[in-house]
Amino acid sequence: MKFQPYVTEHIYDEMFESNEKCRSHYAMFKEKIEDLSTRKLMQLQHSTDKAQRAIGMTFNVYHDKKGKEKILPLDIIPRVINGKDWEVIEKGLAQRIEALNLFLQDIYNGGKILKDKIVPEELVLSSQDYLDPCSGITPPKGRWCHIIGTDLVRDGKGHFYVLEDNLRCPSGVSYMLENREILKRAFPQLLSSMGVRPVSDYPIKLLNMLQYMSDKAKPTVVVLTPGVFNSAYFEHSYLANEMGVTLVTGQDLIVENDFVFMQTTKGLKQVDVIYRRIDDKFMDPMTFRKDSLLGTPGLFRAFKKGNVALANAPGTGVADDKAVYAYVPRIIKYYLGEDPIIENVPTYLCREEKDKKYVLENIGNLVVKETNAAGGYGMLIGPKTTKSEHEKFKKLISSNPSNYIAQPTLSLSTVPTISKSKIDGRHVDLRPYVLYGEKVEVIPGALTRVALKKGSLVVNSSQGGGSKDTWVLYN
């Protein structure tokens, strides 16, 4: 199977330089692929699809009228990252997570950064993800964000940028783990030959981090899911099974005397740590949404009294608000006295008159996002959409400017991807996963999301994207 002709003009390709010379860390993989016939490669690709369905790696798309479960297509050509680049990512994410954790502790306990006018007070306090009930709380061990999935992109010059932070219930890590298992079967011996770092111990590391949140010697840990109809239910059940802990819904839990218990066949058993995959405002109808049938009455009060640890802590969402994101470089400087190791994508805040004017005048060249939307929804990619869409977003921005930010359209890096019976470049992003327990630990792998449509910059699974295994090398 040959890669030529392979176009990389004006784009940073992860595998090839502009002269179609293979980058050194991909050389062994390229040799392996070129030893395969087109038929054999397509057979391997087809077998990955079958493996995903057999495992049950599916998700629901809420807006899909057909209502059927879908797989996240796995392209068999991995993204390979050398050790030098990964070292920068590790240091940059550790710095960022430490600063954001300090920010959360501060804004819920006095708000010195707001009083010092580093971040606008109104911006934080008006965010729909700022939770007044969290005021005065310090979570167990001082950790607000325990499991983080930060989205990175690489521009046309090969520089990494942080696209957004995901501090609430970041999903996708189960795909990272299962993608690796599938690729191991497709390319036996190749991963060890290339020196690819393992990710299979993630469930153990996750469990150790969750147990660290409790002062008990042997704390009881559970995974709290909204239920089988949630789009990420496969991941919830997968992680609970891999950690060897119980998967529960809100109805399986009960709060008595401000302690949390789960109902078992042997009676009530106290729960010490909850890895929750349920949104803040649905977790406790006594404190947040009274109409929620997904949560457990009294859960937040038990957390507030220190009788149960929640990962991630309620209220973390304000730190990944897309408007707050623009201030993260200042947040890092304020708390750590350092410049960001990984820069933000330049961001225009439509709440500021000067930025709003620029966005309205240049909307055809920008990516516009709702500050609280996710999954690729509420987004406009100016160069890829029509003038009528531009006008629609101009009206939305003008009517509620605080709800929108805008960024330049980056030419995301590409990775060779199988398209029908040939190999072609497709745009990708990168979601590494970070655990913050006793220390910050960046897992040496990631979920690479890929836009399967040629030229598309939208990689979200809910918008038709796929995934790749991410191979991080020792050197």
Distance CA 460, CA 260 (A): 36
Could you tell me how far CA 113 lies from the centroid of its own chain? 26
Answer yes or no: are the C-beta atoms of 415 and 167 closer than 8 Å: no
Residue 237 one-letter amino acid:
S
Answer yes or no: are the C-beta atoms of 51 and 175 closer than 8 Å: no
Beta strand 466-472 with 440-450 is: antiparallel
Nearest 5°: the CA angle 77, 81, 87 is 160
Q: For 214-252, what is each residue's pLDDT tens digit?
A: 999 999 999 999 999 888 899 999 999 999 999 999 999
Res 53: pLDDT: 78
**Residue by residue, what is the 3-state secondary structure of 195-227?**
CECCCCCHHHHHHHHHHHCCCCCCCCEEEECCC
201-311 sits in which CATH class?
Answer: alpha beta
Measure the CA dihedral 446/452/456/457, to 10°. -10
Distance CA 351, CA 368 (A): 13
Beta strand 343-344 with 58-59 is: unpaired
Q: For 48-92, what is each residue's pLDDT tens digit?
A: 888 887 777 766 655 555 556 677 889 999 999 999 999 999 999
Res 84: pLDDT: 96
Strand partners, 429: 449
Distance CA 199, CA 190 (A): 16
Res 60: pLDDT: 61
Res 377: pLDDT: 65
Q: Please tell me whether the peptide bond between 208 and the residue prior to it is cis, using omega within 30 degrees of 0.
A: no
Tokens of 54: 């057999």
Distance CA 468, CA 459 (A): 11
SS3 at position 40:
helix
Q: What is the mean pLDDT of each run of 10 residues along the chain (475 residues)?
A: 70 89 95 90 89 73 56 92 97 98 98 97 93 97 97 93 92 94 93 97 98 97 94 93 98 97 95 97 96 95 97 96 92 98 94 94 93 71 90 94 90 89 90 97 97 85 84 96
Q: If you count DSSP H runs as helices and E runs as strands, how many of each does the chain have, helices first?
A: 14, 22
Assigned architecture for domain 347-408: 2-Layer Sandwich (3.30)
Distance CA 377, CA 471 (A): 29
Answer yes or no: are the C-beta atoms of 442 and 93 closer than 8 Å: yes
Enumerate residues 6+ apart whose C-beta is below 8 A from 88: 160, 341, 342
Which residue, 55, 79, 1, 39, is CA-closest to 182? 55
Distance CA 323, CA 144 (A): 19
With DSSP H G I counted as helix, E B as strand and the rest as coil, what are the percentages for the chain, rounded to 5? 35, 25, 40
Q: Please tell me whether the peptide bond between 5 and the residue prior to it is cis, using omega within 30 degrees of 0.
A: yes
**End-to-end alpha-carbon separation of the chain, Å?**
27
**Residue by residue, what is the 3-state secondary structure of 123-163?**
HHHCCCCCCHHHCCCCCHHHCCCCEEECEEEECCCCCEEEE
Nearest 5°: the CA angle 445, 450, 451 is 165
Strand partners, 196: 473
Enumerate residues 6+ apart whose C-beta is below 8 A from 133: 287, 288, 300, 304, 314
Where, residue-wise, is CATH 3.30.1490.270 in the chain? 347-408
For residue 169, what is the DSSP state? Answer: S
Distance CA 362, CA 369 (A): 14
Answer yes or no: are the C-beta atoms of 23 and 14 closer than 8 Å: yes
Alpha-carbon Rg for the chain in angstroms:
23
Distance CA 120, CA 406 (A): 18
Tokens of 116: 């010092």
Which residue, 108, 102, 68, 85, is CA-closest to 14? 85
Answer yes or no: are the C-beta atoms of 193 and 28 closer than 8 Å: yes
Strand partners, 312: none
Distance CA 395, CA 178 (A): 43
Tokens of 207: 């469990």
Where, residue-wise, is CATH 3.40.50.11290 in the chain? 201-311
Tokens of 467: 């995934």
Res 375: pLDDT: 55
What is the residue whose two structure tokens read 């992680």? Answer: 239
